[in-house]
Chain A
Amino acid sequence: MGFLDSLLGKTKLPEAKTDKLFAISTAAVTLEASLGYRPDGAAAVCIKPMESSRYEAARREIEELLGMSIKETGTEYKLQKDEYNYLWVVLSDPDLDDLVNAVQMVSQILTEQGLGIQILAAVYRFRGEAVIYWIYNFKQGAYYPFVPQSGRQRDTAREFRLKALLQKEMPLEKDESRWYPMWGMPL
């Protein structure tokens, strides 16, 4: 947001950047080869619901298309509101590429309806010596690691190790103050 925008009190939210979304597929190879983390068959997209019939239409279209793609790829899905009233499209499929495609489809439908700014994040779960999550920030078009522990603690050491290993493989959020945790994710 430029200086003139803030001078005039214009609130501009960044559009969803989906171009780097697919980087998770190549990163997954390195992740398994060097640290033994495997895709855990689960991903999700977090959406900020909106008071608009256009949003409702987009939500129905997402459900329709996901319903159709079940038959092709076997990707299962459910829609779920969390405790803060955000909508989660929770996807499960053993194949990571199918998950990435489904996430891409959801974000594309919302963007086409002009609701790109409502997409908060996409999350992929991996499992190895611990359960780790890769969160894709649509505003920045970058990934960051999230390793939650019990009692709203996060394993920061492990997150930094993941960063060190993968920063050449995928676009990572460089500003660690934007590694926002997401507690109570439905996956």
Chain B
Amino acid sequence: MRLCLTLLLLALVLCCTSAQAIDPLPFKDRTEELRFQLLTKQLRCPLCQNESLADSQAGVAKDLRQKVFAMMQAGQSDEQIKTFLTDRYSNFVLYDPPLQGGTLLLWFGPLAALVAGGFALLLIVRRRARQTVVSSTTAPEEDW
């Protein structure tokens, strides 16, 4: 029974790994396949923007995967392929957009929010601390 279950699990795992590639492409070896998967995971599908090129079922994503594959076959580097795509679809296709004027907010927005939040927290804590000192001498009229 236990063996059965193990085998079943193993089969499932194997199934899943082999089903990773959505459309089978004739890779010449495993290294090329891994490079393709790594590259398409870093690229965003322009149509369904919360999916990577590797995962998306959209028609355009399929075409772009074919294009990326063809460019790899033609000996183009990852950088050349990315440039090809950004020339046509802008930086939106990159999950890791370059640091430039238009992406400053994207890069430093979270940090700015964190700093602002921390500052606000500090102010509130300080004020509360002062209030507790005062209210410990006079009875608090309301508690909320």
Is A bound to B? no
Seen from chain A, the residues whose Cβ lies within 8 Å of a Cβ on chain B are none
Seen from chain B, the residues whose Cβ lies within 8 Å of a Cβ on chain A are none
